[in-house]
DNA sequence: CGGGATCCCAAGCGATACTG
DNA sequence: CAGTATCGCTTGGGATCCCG
């Protein structure tokens, strides 16, 4: 048990305490997926293709000991966040927003999962802008998965649709029928531009590359872009050698 | 290139990109300290007593390659955050707030540094409450170090005072003379209660244990507690055994 | 068949020593 | 003071195997 002494960061600090609990590799990605709802072991594994199974098992055990994750009693292999674990949402959202500026292009072998998509939408959500718009449902199809985002007032509820596991009935927004529905087919490459682009650009240039409107008008797409937007923080500047941040692709 | 294959998380996601850049051990603690201002190698080393020097060297190199950190040209061994790196403040603040709920007591061998203190104050800052209070300076003495927090309207500027390195003249708040100054001597143990306690408690019970007013009245202490407060998110509940998971100190 | 546990190897981390 | 070099140990990665 003297091992534990080596693990601590030796700091009496909230940041250090947080990192001791969820700072290990893969831990916050597991939390990200569980923020979308309860998941089974195999769901987590398939959503995180590069994680070795023993590491996933270890992390889940550690996260349970930290009080971040608990097992779902009724479901074999089911895991969910505790209230304490759900408190990590601001952390994950902040990471998502910051990392967005360094997203670059889809690299080979990288996956885009429904849970990652859901978190991106949560991080991009503008409650202030949404509050002035009528209740709307946005359905996004990316590759082989789909997510539905229901926006009512300042509330947002994102649920993965399709092969997602453990269907959760809880909708955190009031049960109102949306005034309108926008349905988009999005290429993984166009997904970044969809959330990054400036509002108003649709009216001028139409949908970004890789985005097709399946249902709804371009006015609804504009509404989407007012509701969901991630402001780039600052370019990863000052890099001496090449890094893979290919944000130069979008020629202005 | 093959190196990257092993390191990458294989996810096209902002969270994954962020973790690939600042998810390594110690990285976010280095960022935390640099958020307080430029620091020299030795400052970072002494603020992070448990970090091996080669790891500090490696992390600084990696953070420079990621565009998070740059060297201060005029100072030997000086480092500072880039604009991109300063964009991590919401991440660090969110971690600080969450980790605060799991802070526990000061464990043996743990240090409380001025930079950690400054980040705690930043995370605890309530701009809404501060906006309705007159400009105030708060000086905290903890162990052998001191920090000064100047609050003007919704603005906050925290500077470590004393043996801190690279004195930075920049004050982000307007240069107003504070209407009042509160000076506190705080034990490391009392520091947590000072930021966690509910407002109003001072009037009833006086200062928390381990907090002594050196200058200013208890009304100013109440002002402090309105201005700086970290709401606990939720207890690290649901743990099977004691909540001492992660720390070796089994002693209560 | 899904949910993990066990191996082995490589890479990362930690402590110390050493150099410009 | 600001790192680099080296070494043993711990951890993560990948494949396999076991158990219900």
Residue B204 lies in a domain: yes
A141-165 pLDDT, tens per residue?
998 889 999 999 999 999 887 655 4
pLDDT of residue B55: 94
C-beta atoms surrounding A205 within 10 Å: 10
| Domain co-membership, A79 together with A178 | no
**Based on the domain organization, do B113 and B210 belong to the same domain?**
yes
A221 and A141: one domain? Answer: yes
Q: Near strand C (CB < 7 A), which residues?
A: A 6, 40-43, 45, 52-54, 57, 61, 76-77; B 3, 6-7, 24-26, 50-55, 58
In this structure, is residue B43 part of a structural domain? yes
Distances (CA, A) of B248 to A17, B112, B236: 13, 18, 17
**Range in A72-76, B62-66, B77-81 the model is least confident about:** A72-76
Q: Are residues A61 and A131 in the same domain?
A: no
Check residue A236 and give its pLDDT.
Answer: 72
Within a domain: residue A93?
Answer: no
> Does the residue B40 lie in any domain?
yes
Is B100 within 8 Å of A235 when comparing Cβ atoms? no
Q: Are residues A115 and A182 in the same domain?
A: yes
Among residues B100, B144, B145, the alpha carbon closest in space to that of B122 is found at B100
Short-list A159, A203, A172, A198, CA closest to A38: A159
In this structure, is the CB of residue B62 within 7 Å of any atom belonging to strand D? no
pLDDT for the residue A250: 31
Q: How many percent of chain B have pLDDT more than 70?
A: 85
Q: What is the pLDDT of residues B88-127, one digit of tens each?
A: 999 999 999 999 998 988 888 899 999 999 999 999 999 9
Query: What residues form DSSP beta bridges with A185?
Result: A141, A212
Q: B193 CB contacts (<8 Å, ≥6 apart)?
A: B208, B209, B210, B211
Question: Is residue B153 in some structural domain?
Answer: yes
Do residues A141 and A213 share a domain? yes
Give the C-alpha separation, A215 to A221, whole Å.
10
- Domain annotation covers residue A208: yes
Q: pLDDT > 90: what percent of chain B?
A: 67
Predicted confidence (pLDDT) at residue B237 exceeds the cutoff of 90: no
Average pLDDT, chain B: 85
Q: What residues of chain B lie within 8 A of the CB of A244, using their CB?
A: 4
Same domain, B220 and B141: yes
Tell me whether residue A98 is in a domain: no
Whether residue A128 sits in one domain with residue A223:
yes
Paired strand residues for B147? B140, B160
Rg (CA), chain A: 19
Tokens of A232: 């780039």
Tokens (6 digits) for B190: 């009392």
Rounded CA gap, A38 and A79, in Å? 6
Instruction: Print the domain residue range for A72.
Output: 8-87
Q: Please, what is the end-to-end C-alpha distance for chain A in angstroms? A: 57
Task: Give the helix, strand, coil percentages of chain B, each rounded to 5.
Answer: 40, 20, 40
State the pTM of this model. 0.90
Examine the domain organization and report whether A149 and A66 are in the same domain.
Answer: no
Mean pLDDT of A115-121: 95
Which bases along strand D come within 7 Å of a protein CB atom?
A: 1-6, 10-16
- Asked if pLDDT for residue A1 goes beyond 50, the answer is no
In sequence order, what are the residues at sequence separation of 6 or more whose Cβ sits closer than 8 angstroms to the Cβ of residue B33?
B39, B43, B44, B47, B48, B113, B115, B116
For position A247, what pLDDT does the model report? 34
CA–CA gap between residue B104 and residue A14 (Å, rounded): 10
A62 and A147 share a domain?
Answer: no
pLDDT at B82 over 90: yes
Give the separation between CA A71 and CA A110, rounded to whole angstroms. 29
Shortest alpha-carbon distance between residue A120 and chain B (Å): 7
The pLDDT > 70 percentage for chain A reads 85
- Identify whether B191 is part of a domain: yes
Measured from the CB, is B53 under 7 Å from any atom of strand D? Answer: yes
Query: What is the CATH classification number for the domain harbouring B163?
Result: 3.30.1050
Contact B160, B145 (CB under 8 A): yes
Q: Tell me, what's the pLDDT at A3?
A: 33
Q: Looking up tokens 């893969």, which residue turns up? A: A26
H-state helical runs in B101-138? 114-124, 127-131
Closest amino acid to nucleotide D1 (CA–C1'): B42
CATH number at residue B30: 1.10.10.10
Count of Cβ atoms closer than 10 Å to residue B118 Cβ: 24
Q: How many structural domains are present in chain B?
A: 2
Long-range contacts of B103-110 (CB under 8 A, 24+ apart): B103/A12, B103/A14, B103/A17, B103/B192, B104/A17, B104/B243, B104/B244, B104/B247, B105/B189, B106/A12, B106/B188, B106/B189, B107/A8, B107/A12, B107/B247, B107/B248, B107/B249, B108/B249, B109/A10, B110/A8, B110/A10, B110/A11, B110/A12
Query: Are A166 and A38 a contacting pair, CB within 8 Å?
Result: yes
Closest residue by C-alpha to C1' distance, nucleotide C5:
A54
- Same structural domain for residues A80 and A114? no
Selected residue with higher pLDDT from B248 and B196: B196
CA of residue A151 to C1' of nucleotide D5, angstroms: 57
Which amino acid residue lies closest to nucleotide D16, measuring CA to C1'? A53
Q: Both B150 and B77 in a single domain?
A: no
């Amino acid at each position: 048990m003297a091992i534990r002494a080596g693990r601590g960061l030796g700091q009496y600090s909230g940041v250090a305490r947080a990192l001791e609990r969820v700072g290990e590799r893969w831990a916050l990605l597991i939390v990200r997926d569980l923020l979308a709802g309860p998941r089974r072991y195999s769901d987590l594994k398939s959503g995180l293709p590069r994680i070795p199974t023993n590491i996933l098992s270890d992390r889940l055990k550690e996260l349970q000991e930290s009080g971040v994750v608990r097992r779902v009693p009724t479901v074999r292999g089911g895991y969910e966040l505790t209230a304490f674990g759900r408190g990590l949402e601001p952390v994950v959202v902040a990471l998502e927003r910051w990392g967005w500026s360094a997203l670059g292009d889809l690299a080979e072998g990288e996956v885009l999962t429904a849970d990652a998509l859901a978190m991106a939408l949560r991080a991009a959500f503008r409650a202030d802008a949404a509050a002035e718009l009528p209740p709307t449902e946005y359905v996004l199809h990316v590759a082989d998965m789909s997510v539905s985002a229901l926006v009512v007032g300042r509330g947002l509820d994102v649920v993965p649709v399709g092969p997602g596991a453990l269907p959760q009935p809880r909708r955190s927004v009031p049960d109102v029928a949306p005034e309108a529905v926008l349905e988009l087919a999005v290429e993984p490459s166009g997904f970044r531009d969809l959330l990054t682009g400036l509002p108003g650009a649709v009216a001028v240039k139409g949908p970004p590359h890789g985005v097709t409107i399946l249902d709804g008008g371009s006015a609804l797409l504009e509404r989407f872009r007012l509701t969901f937007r991630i402001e780039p923080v600052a370019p990863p500047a000052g890099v001496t050698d090449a890094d893979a941040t290919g944000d130069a692709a979008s020629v202005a």
